[in-house]
Structure 1
């Protein structure tokens, strides 16, 4: 039959129409053939002013337009897909359908998965990428190759691939980043240059629940400069009854106290709650008040899209063993904006650095990184080169959104299952989170984690909170389904989780 809606599309005679109109006036038309398969999909997005057409089920896929998804709500997009396909959003078949339409599912083959029992089990669920990413399959062979090379050569520079790809991931110029030592060591070295307190401007702004090592570094740097942490360290907390800090509260504090703040040091993504900070606006606010803006990006690099150069961030540090999958204890990364390149400051120089005390990124490399460690980073960058941070972020929109939907659906607010409830600490807004959801259980979460680990489901615990991170590079929608339904079944049937 002929279908007219700005354009004409001809389909088989034995077809029927399903038309859905949302509150956002998004018209979605799905054409079903007599055998139940989808013959076509037409969507009119009034915001973008364009008409999208998918001619058959085989061409339908998850969106890889990050700018478009920033304007959408994950739950509504998933419900739309569910209604368009006729698959229940809480069914395993819907999760399998999403995996079939995942444009970067091929990346899973590049990773080793944890062993369950005596054999490697690639069907295990690994949601610990926010703590330790999976190992690329190529890393062992590459380390052996580098080891052989080390035995035959005195010295070599082996970061030709690492630096360009790393610069792309953090949104920097290549001469603005360097690979050196570890995250905490790099913060110390950079603060020697960028934390220059005076009697009038000596305070450092961090968040109260910053990663413990960030607390240790800032307190020691304050003491090193003959000030007192009790009067020079501002620790910001969320409003009473809230789990994460509002961006407007950060900006207001900088505006009101900025004249006494020397350094704003915040995370890109908060390790405990999973909150994604608005780095651009925080940096602008800090600079407006004459403050230095530095960021700990341990949970952000490889997880969210970054534009450090464009945002004029002064400095940043990160590790490479979380979302960058380079292995425990691997070499860290650092960023110094090019505007500081020729500024003479205090710095601890080392082998191979320029002893003229400028703040170029490479000048903070005290000694060449261990080639064996750098080989792991190179293997990780090789996998990242097969996709983009935009594609990963788009998948995360659906993947973490699907996790949130299932948790809220299976554990609705106010309803108890065998006395157990689950609440989400992480912001529901996609633009305010990365891949992680932090779940708070009303029952002993250690026991829950122990039982699901026995079923091949691995998550990370902090206090009474389970940090669940379905990393889009190697996690699947069926993993999310398995996690949510397994916990739901446990808490409904077991009598071992009394409140």
Structure 2
């Protein structure tokens, strides 16, 4: 059995990809990123070539086909420049870098770095600048939000609703919060399960039905904007409104949604949300996270001069960086938070992290907003779907897509479920062809064509590689 696809079946798609890439008004953004070469992903050392985006690197070999932005986004070329500017400030200014702006540097002072990052990320998630904070990491922020807004009453509202296949860290966070309040997960945690045995897709109706069933004793709902495994985009505004109708506070985990799909968190009246920044936001491995708190949930109605200033704001775990900037360095022990989400900050943030993230957020600014990126994303993912449909009948029988086919119910991701025993061998062929994707054992490949740097040709290259991998794996499956 041949492991090589019939190239004639892809001829029309190849011409179509060339036209679509030529018409793409955002194609220039691809040059903003460092795309590993075929040689890069095969080597076992860092290598000595220039990593700044100069010709020594890009001419070494053709770029790999990187379709893994849902796990780790590529590095923007300007990241190294911004980090060198940060290091230069530290080297030449020491502690003065907190307060002293430099005329030849585009970077803010370290005191204001978090505020600048918030201003850059606010339009990406559809929020007012005061409603977002760049801080901590995803799970830490979920814990901080739950510490502020999960107030269980054992005799009243005490349950937390989440999905059955939530990302493990979300599941762990919910379990520990319930136990922290002296409650039992057996009685205080409710999970939403897909009614389908084949595909774990959960409809809005399924979610609403479970909320209705447990509304009387539910204190909190935590759901993903995009489900990490299936790539399903949940109807955030509709579900949020339904939760509010039943008096339930809802938190959204936007790890796979921020920088991927258009969000309007303020206008959708979302209570709170948290996200990481190393996937579609390209901040770098384990980079600093972000959170959103609607302005109505972070009001501060008193001043520090009031006799009891703490009566003017909601309870939260507090730290000195959340303290009002006017008194932050006065070293007073009377806490009075900054208005908005920034008042939930704890320690001073990592400026190295914020500098790296802000470099990528600058590139988002060049895209002209999330609307343009989302439109390209829909076209890319639809083209990828079309390419997969052109695989041979033999190859198509070995895989199926578990992501919703409706473009409005998915982001820049297709999750492909392979027949049992084919994953390892298929991935080996893809890697040999310079194609990087994400796996979820035992048999799912997640493919994410990110509109900032992926092309239509990338989608076609993957489909050809997948067909070759499937056919090769069928002859030597790894059980």
Task: Quickly name the TM-score band, shorter chain normalised.
Answer: 0.7 to 0.9
Name which of structure 1's ranges 109-118 and 132-141 shifts more when overlaid on structure 2.
109-118
The alpha carbon displacement at 1:358 in A equals 8.7
Give CA deviations for 1:432-469 in whole Å, capped at 9, x if unaligned.
00000000111421221122112110000011100000
Indicate the residue corresponding to 1:353 in structure 2: 322
Instruction: Determine the C-alpha separation between the residues in 2 that align with 1:359 and 1:291.
Output: 24
The alpha carbon displacement at 1:353 in A equals 2.2
User: Which of these residues, 120, 135, 139, is aligned with residue 75 of structure 2?
Assistant: 135
Instruction: Determine the C-alpha separation between the residues in 2 that align with 1:435 and 1:410.
Output: 21
On the 8 A contact 1:142/1:376 being kept in 2, the answer is: yes
Indicate the residue corresponding to 1:396 in structure 2: 377
The alpha carbon displacement at 1:149 in A equals 0.9
Match status 1:364 vs 2:336: no
Flag the 1:282–1:237 CA change in 2: closer, same or farther, 3 A: same
Instruction: Determine the C-alpha separation between the residues in 2 that align with 1:254 and 1:408.
Output: 37
On the 8 A contact 2:429/2:465 being kept in 1, the answer is: no
Q: Which structure dedicates a bigger proportion of its chain to strand?
A: 1
Flag the 1:453–1:289 CA change in 2: closer, same or farther, 3 A: same
Indicate the residue corresponding to 1:405 in structure 2: 386
Instruction: Determine the C-alpha separation between the residues in 2 that align with 1:436 and 1:212.
Output: 20
Higher RCO (CA-CA < 8 Å; seq separation 6+): 2
On the 8 A contact 2:272/2:294 being kept in 1, the answer is: yes
Instruction: Determine the C-alpha separation between the residues in 1 that align with 2:248 and 2:131.
Output: 20
Match status 1:426 vs 2:403: yes
On the 8 A contact 1:192/1:347 being kept in 2, the answer is: yes
Indicate the residue corresponding to 1:454 in structure 2: 432
Flag the 1:396–1:466 CA change in 2: closer, same or farther, 3 A: same
Match status 1:223 vs 2:204: no
Give CA deviations for 1:27-65 in whole Å, capped at 9, x if unaligned.
xxxxxxxxxxxxxxxxxxxxxxxxxxxxxxxxxxxxxxx
On the 8 A contact 2:256/2:280 being kept in 1, the answer is: yes
Secondary structure of 1:426's match? coil
User: Which of these residues, 214, 230, 249, is aligned with residue 273 of structure 1?
Assistant: 230
On the 8 A contact 2:425/2:478 being kept in 1, the answer is: no
Match status 1:260 vs 2:260: no
Flag the 1:289–1:358 CA change in 2: closer, same or farther, 3 A: farther
Instruction: Determine the C-alpha separation between the residues in 2 that align with 1:263 and 1:238.
Output: 20
Indicate the residue corresponding to 1:62 in structure 2: none
The alpha carbon displacement at 1:369 in A equals 1.3
Give CA deviations for 1:127-157 in whole Å, capped at 9, x if unaligned.
1100000000011121111012123142222
Instruction: Determine the C-alpha separation between the residues in 1 that align with 2:363 and 2:343.
Output: 28
The alpha carbon displacement at 1:243 in A equals 2.6
CA RMSD of aligned residues (A): 2.0
Give CA deviations for 1:147-172 in whole Å, capped at 9, x if unaligned.
12123142222245422220000000
The alpha carbon displacement at 1:492 in A equals 3.7
Secondary structure of 2:191's match? strand
Q: Following superposition of structure 1 onto structure 2, how do residues 88-103 of structure 1 map, counting pairs within 5 Å?
A: 90-103=12-25
User: Which of these residues, 116, 135, 142, is aligned with residue 187 of structure 1?
Assistant: 142
Indicate the residue corresponding to 1:480 in structure 2: 459
Indicate the residue corresponding to 1:381 in structure 2: 361
Flag the 1:215–1:358 CA change in 2: closer, same or farther, 3 A: farther
Secondary structure of 2:233's match? coil
Indicate the residue corresponding to 1:235 in structure 2: 191
Instruction: Determine the C-alpha separation between the residues in 2 that align with 1:103 and 1:403.
Output: 19
The alpha carbon displacement at 1:493 in A equals 5.8
Give CA deviations for 1:219-249 in whole Å, capped at 9, x if unaligned.
0000011111111111111113343001111
Flag the 1:310–1:198 CA change in 2: closer, same or farther, 3 A: same
Give CA deviations for 1:375-401 in whole Å, capped at 9, x if unaligned.
111110110001121111111111100
The alpha carbon displacement at 1:366 in A equals 0.6
Instruction: Determine the C-alpha separation between the residues in 2 that align with 1:468 and 1:150.
Output: 40
User: Which of these residues, 122, 136, 143, is aligned with residue 167 of structure 1?
Assistant: 122
Instruction: Determine the C-alpha separation between the residues in 2 that align with 1:321 and 1:260.
Output: 36
Aligned residues: 409
Secondary structure of 1:243's match? coil
On the 8 A contact 2:21/2:455 being kept in 1, the answer is: yes
Q: Following superposition of structure 1 onto structure 2, how do residues 6-405 of structure 1 map, counting pairs within 5 Å?
A: 90-117=12-39, 121-151=61-91, 152-154=93-95, 155=98, 156=110, 157-199=112-154, 200-241=156-197, 242-342=199-299, 344-354=313-323, 355-356=335-336, 360-387=340-367, 388-405=369-386
Q: Which structure dedicates a bigger proportion of its chain to helix?
A: 2
The alpha carbon displacement at 1:420 in A equals 5.4
TM-score under structure 1 length normalisation: 0.78
The alpha carbon displacement at 1:105 in A equals 0.5
Indicate the residue corresponding to 2:444 in structure 1: 465
The alpha carbon displacement at 1:273 in A equals 0.3
Name which of structure 1's ranges 159-168 and 397-406 shifts more when overlaid on structure 2.
159-168
Name which of structure 1's ranges 450-459 and 430-439 shifts more when overlaid on structure 2.
450-459
Indicate the residue corresponding to 1:42 in structure 2: none
Instruction: Determine the C-alpha separation between the residues in 2 that align with 1:455 and 1:324.
Output: 26
**Structure 2 stretches lacking a partner, 5+ long:** 1-8, 41-56, 99-109, 300-311, 324-334
On the 8 A contact 1:344/1:358 being kept in 2, the answer is: no
